Amino acid sequence: MPGNPDDGHTLEEAIEQASLLAEQRPKIVIVDQGYRGATLENIQILRSGQRKGVTKTLKNMILRRSSIEPIIGHMKMDGRLGRNPLKGELGDALHAVLCGAGHNIRLLLKKLRLFCSLFLSLLLRNILAVMKQNQLAHQAVF
């Protein structure tokens, strides 16, 4: 966000943006400790590390949110999210979007490499099986 405001002051704006994207207002929001003290009407706010009033399902949701933190750390280190070469507020926004796109492309390339290795191993296995059958048929003729 422009001007690097405190987390608690950005919650309403973040929920508005999520509401526009999802076309409905969330009922539960899971945040980190930086949002301590933030309250919103008709929205349940769960903080990481919270123990009071948390069911097993809500605890799993909090843990899922905590599992995203390392991804953000990797984007800052490997995806160059930590240093922004673009200027101004628009540059900040574009840089964040491009870093997210780059991260998604890296994930797609990883899956593509896996798929290609599986395809090549199956192809090689079939070629070897055909060669073995040809060799057995060739031996049977002689």
Q: Which pLDDT score, from 0 to 100, does residue 33 have?
A: 77
CB distance 46 to 60 below 8 Å: no
Q: Which two tokens stand for residue 1?
A: 């966000």
Neighbouring residues of 131: CB distance < 8 A, sequence distance ≥ 6:
none
pLDDT tens digits for 25-51?
Answer: 988 888 887 777 777 888 888 888 777
- Residues 78, 82, 88, 93, CA torsion sign: positive
Neighbouring residues of 99: CB distance < 8 A, sequence distance ≥ 6:
75, 79, 80, 81
Neighbouring residues of 62: CB distance < 8 A, sequence distance ≥ 6:
30, 46, 47, 48, 50, 54
* pLDDT confidence bin for 142, thresholds 50/70/90: low
Distance CA 81, CA 92 (A): 10
Distance CA 88, CA 98 (A): 15
* pLDDT confidence bin for 113, thresholds 50/70/90: very high
Specify the pTM. Answer: 0.61
Q: Which pLDDT score, from 0 to 100, does residue 124 have?
A: 96
CB distance 15 to 45 below 8 Å: no
Neighbouring residues of 48: CB distance < 8 A, sequence distance ≥ 6:
30, 31, 32, 33, 62, 65, 66
pLDDT tens digits for 74-111?
Answer: 888 877 887 788 888 888 889 888 988 988 999 999 99
Q: Any idea where the domains of the chain sit in the sequence?
A: 7-110
